[in-house]
Structure 1
């Protein structure tokens, strides 16, 4: 099982690199869903680089010509409903530093949590994979 060792294992720096990582994560997630299986370590590593769209809202701005290629690629992958849902996340997808998330999981461990089902609200937004759940060390 893949466990991120540092920020380098998570969302990359730079808007275009984040876009590429997000597009790759969507592709991997869809393949895993279609095949009805969980990801291997490499696929988990690629999923962990997902950062949502909050940091790169420009991909949804039709007037931004610097993002024409990326917008076209994303339009090929998402249907209209998915596009609108992804676009909506640009106003509420916030970054949480993995150091904070790690401390929260550690606190839960000190309170006696040793494992079990965990509800991750990000999954309910249909915007993709959440960084917070990836920092679980239990």
Structure 2
């Protein structure tokens, strides 16, 4: 899935909203409080339910330009990219991309089916989140 949207906010504002969310999640999941400078290649285990967890690894971090991470389970890998491009002082283009890489044919087919069915709602919710970030400026 790929979503590209122009927001009427500075690139630095959007980037810091994302990073603040990441730092909050790390604190909630691990109790650790890394600095923004320590986030490159940072990895931690996130508990989704009592029986479901995954390893999150920050794979790319460029201030005000990019935030990439991978969520790995024993069945699949979920890759997410946020590319942030300043168009003007208060205008930013955000490109969000995600990709699922699964092992096994049946798992790949299941991911494709679920992705197709759920994709519309996830896309709608993500655009709503972008609008909320923009409105918070």
State the TM-score bracket (shorter-chain normalisation): under 0.3
TM-score, length-scaled by structure 2: 0.26
The structure where strand makes up a greater share of residues is 2
TM-score, length-scaled by structure 1: 0.26
